[in-house]
Amino acid sequence: MKLTGKTAVITGGGSGIGLGIALAFAAEGCRTLIAGRNPQRLLEAAAACSHTPGLLTYPVDVSDRESVRQLFDHARRELGRIDILVNSAGTNIKTRTMSSMSPEQWDQVMAINATGAYNCMIEVLPEMRSRGDGLIVNISSIAGKRAISLGGIAYCASKFAMTALGTAVGNEVAPDGVRVTNVYPGEVNTPILVNRPEPVSDERKAAMVQPEDIGGLVVAIAALPPRTHVPEIIIKPLVQQYV
Distance of CA 3 to the CA centre of its chain: 18
Contact 8, 33 (CB under 8 A): yes
Sign (positive/negative) of CA torsion 128, 42, 114, 209?
positive
The residue annotated as part of the active site, out of 58, 155, 184, 242, is 155
Q: For residues 226 and 240, give the distance between their C-alpha atoms in angstroms, rounded to a whole number.
A: 33
Amino acid at 20: G
Residue 155 bears catalytic tag? yes
Q: Within the chain, where are the H helices?
A: 16-27, 39-47, 65-79, 103-110, 116-131, 153-173, 202-207, 211-222
Contact 178, 169 (CB under 8 A): no
Question: Which residues are CB-neighbours of 80 under 8 A, at least 6 positions away?
Answer: 7
Strand order in the sheet with 31-36: 55-59, 31-36, 7-11, 84-87, 134-139, 178-185, 232-235
Q: Which residues are catalytic?
A: 155
